[in-house]
Structure 1
Amino acid sequence: MARVTGIGGFFFRARDPQGLAAWYETHLGIDDIAKTVWSQEAGPTVFSAFAEDTTYFGRPEQPFLVNFRVDDLDGMMEKLKAAGIAVETRAEWDSEVGRFCRIHDPEGNPLELWQPA
């Protein structure tokens, strides 16, 4: 049966695409598409629609929330804080599926980092 086998890309608008690509590469290790295609590690991916009035994403006008899987949340948070990036954690975000934190990229897009349990 024909079916989708994974996410092939995530595309979004940016005021400064090159600057934002450099930020993602520097702070999150995501390869700049101008250099190479990022090959992510195999692992779980959640694809889920939320209610239109959810407050989980932060800003009400934000139509999406990108969640990145990480292998060492504490180490990642330490690295981001050392670079002057605000990191938010909340006990209620953590559950049997893992631990989470939130950051924002330079254009204000919320990003969730997740270390699976």
Structure 2
Amino acid sequence: MGVEGIGGIFFRARDPDGLSAWYKAHLNIGAGCNAHAMGPVDEWAWMTMAGPLVFAPFPADTAYFAADKAFMINLRVSGIEALIAGLRAAGIAVETRAEWDAPETGRFARLHDPEGNAIELWQPPG
């Protein structure tokens, strides 16, 4: 017996209902969402695709994400260009940098949710 995966991500929000609606509308994640229609929808869970997940504590003084935040959400995606275009069309600022992308690690983009939480989009190589 042992840990088999992440069972949830829980964090504080000033407007939990509004933030949940934002994630669902713009990133298709949260309760009742289903990645690529992989089965029945669960009203309480987000049904995700299997794949790599990085679990890594960072040094307290990291510059990888904002100093006033204790975490950054990294989301594994496909079709990153279309996703970025849709987010920008909705008025959401998305940052990309050529130096973040590499053939061995994939493509990356960053944005923030309405409460300022950092989100990194990651499209693995291949």
Report TM bin, short chain. over 0.9
> Shift of the alpha carbon at 1:36?
3.1
> Gapped runs of 5+ residues in structure 1?
none
Q: Is the 8 A contact 1:22 1:32 kept in 2?
A: no
Where does residue 112 of structure 1 map in the other structure?
Answer: 120
TM-score, normalised to structure 2's length?
A: 0.86
Where does residue 17 of structure 1 map in the other structure?
Answer: 16
Where does residue 72 of structure 2 map in the other structure?
Answer: 65
Q: What does 1:1-117 correspond to in 2, within 5 Å?
A: 2-32=1-31, 35-57=43-65, 59-95=66-102, 96-117=104-125
- CA offsets, 1:12-40, max 9 Å, x none? 0000000000000000001336x431111
TM-score, normalised to structure 1's length?
A: 0.93
- Output the amino acid matched with 2:12: R
- Output the amino acid matched with 1:10: I
> Gapped runs of 5+ residues in structure 2?
33-42
CA–CA distance in 1 between the matches of 2:31 and 2:53? 21
Say how many residue pairs are matched. 115
CA–CA distance in 1 between the matches of 2:5 and 2:31? 20
CA–CA distance in 2 between the matches of 1:99 and 1:89? 9
- Consecutive aligned runs of 4 or more in structure 1 exceeding 6 Å deviation: none
> Shift of the alpha carbon at 1:52?
1.2
